């Protein structure tokens, strides 16, 4: 990279917010990474993950979200899995994450055949792919080679993960800081096609929105009234009540999420802004194509899977705790 190009890149990152403490060198990641060190690793993981999802299919969407929440904080290093009173896992923003037990089961299975070889960080990425396929979504080749991190902090998670109230500008900035494009941000948002939101994160759009509008005017009026029946104002149950984010085919991994946005039925501000903002509107419209979305989703997941990959770390014995003997 030329000196001018480097200065320009740094200027862009500084303008968009604080620099992410991540490395964007993906050279250590490879397709078929475990083909020699643990040749049956992928098939064993898939068998276990499928069996776990047969017991609780709702965890499939959770596995996709788990990968995203892992990569956006300390990089894709399995830090989201670490247990403790002040870890990312304990952060309020991660309170509704699902799929930990699936990761633990997959880890236990590969430890039986190849102890100390397969990282928890890699398992998170394989599980996200297998969860997508289980929901009738596309597949992609997952790269392996990540090391597990030893740092996990709740406050860092709260500071780095995008919020349901974020604007397109904030979302673009968050993804650019991690080496991901605006287009990839919109594509990855398409995973909300199998997502749910909780009423307590929605009521701010439905009631007393601002001094000019009681309800957010970017919401389709009929949809807004439907949401109000599900999420009453000041209800004690709003923290537990769930609403599907895809109004067309909830629970199916397809491109209908983008139809939801073009009809102004995005559940969160961070959803609907993708159609309202000129920088992302064309991507939303083009991704209504099923084939295009399915193809690009796998590509975007591979790109996200390279964020903040560590060359120094460990291979945890169990995913919920760091090894007692230090780095490996």
Strand boundaries in the chain, DSSP class E: 196-198, 242-244
Of the candidates 223, 187, 184, the one whose C-alpha atom is nearest the C-alpha of residue 202 is: 223
* CB 319, CB 104: distance < 8 Å: yes
Does the annotation list 249 as a binding residue? yes
Contacts of 151 (CB under 8 A, 6+ apart): 74, 79
- Res 22 pLDDT > 90: no
In the predicted model, is pLDDT for residue 76 greater than 60?
yes
DSSP state at residue 213:
-
79 assigned binding-site residue: yes
Q: What percent of the chain has pLDDT over 70?
A: 91
> Which structural domains are found in the chain, ordered by start?
24-162 (1.10.520.10), 168-302 (1.10.420.10)
Q: What is the pLDDT of residues 148-185, one digit of tens each?
A: 999 999 999 999 999 999 999 999 999 999 999 999 99
The model's pTM is 0.90
E runs forming strands in 177-240: 196-198
Higher pLDDT, 208 or 327: 208
Task: Using the predicted structure, report yes or no on whether residue 13 has a pLDDT greater than 60.
Answer: no
**211 marked as binding residue:** no
101 is an annotated ligand-binding site residue:
no
Active site positions, annotated? 69
- What local confidence, expressed as pLDDT, does residue 140 receive? 97
Percent of the chain with pLDDT over 90: 89
- The 10s digit of each residue's pLDDT in 89-122 is 999 999 999 999 999 999 999 999 999 999 999 9
């Amino acid at each position: 990279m030329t000196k001018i190009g480097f200065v320009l890149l740094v200027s862009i990152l500084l303008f968009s917010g604080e620099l992410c403490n991540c490395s964007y060198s993906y050279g250590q990641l490879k397709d078929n990474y475990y083909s020699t060190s643990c040749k049956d690793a992928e098939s064993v993981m898939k068998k276990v993950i499928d069996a776990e999802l047969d017991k609780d299919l709702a965890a499939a969407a959770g596995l996709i979200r788990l990968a995203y929440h892992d990569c956006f904080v300390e990089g894709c290093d399995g830090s989201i899995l670490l247990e403790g009173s002040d870890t990312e896992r304990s952060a309020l923003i991660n309170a509704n994450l699902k799929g930990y037990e699936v990761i633990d089961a997959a880890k236990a299975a590969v430890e039986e055949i190849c102890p100390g070889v397969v990282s928890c960080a890699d398992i998170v990425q394989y599980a996200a792919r297998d969860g997508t396929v289980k929901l009738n979504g596309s597949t992609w080749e997952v790269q392996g080679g990540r090391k597990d991190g030893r740092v996990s902090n709740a406050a860092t998670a709260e500071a780095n993960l995008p919020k349901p109230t974020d604007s397109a500008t904030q979302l673009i900035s968050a993804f650019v800081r991690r080496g991901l494009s605006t287009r990839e941000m919109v594509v990855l948002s398409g995973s909300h096609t199998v997502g749910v939101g909780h009423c307590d994160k929605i009521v701010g759009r439905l009631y007393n929105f601002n001094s000019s509008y009681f309800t957010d005017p970017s919401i389709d009026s009929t949809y807004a009234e439907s949401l109000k029946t599900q999420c009453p104002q000041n209800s004690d149950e709003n923290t537990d009540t769930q609403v599907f984010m895809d109004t067309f085919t909830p629970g199916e991994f397809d491109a209908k999420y983008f139809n939801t946005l073009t009809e102004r039925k995005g559940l969160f501000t961070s959803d609907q802004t993708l159609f309202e903002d000129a920088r992302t509107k064309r991507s939303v419209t083009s991704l209504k194509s099923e084939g295009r979305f399915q193809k690009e989703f796998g590509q975007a997941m591979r790109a996200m899977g390279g964020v903040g990959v560590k060359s120094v770390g460990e291979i945890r014995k169990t995913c919920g705790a760091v090894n007692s003997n230090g780095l490996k």
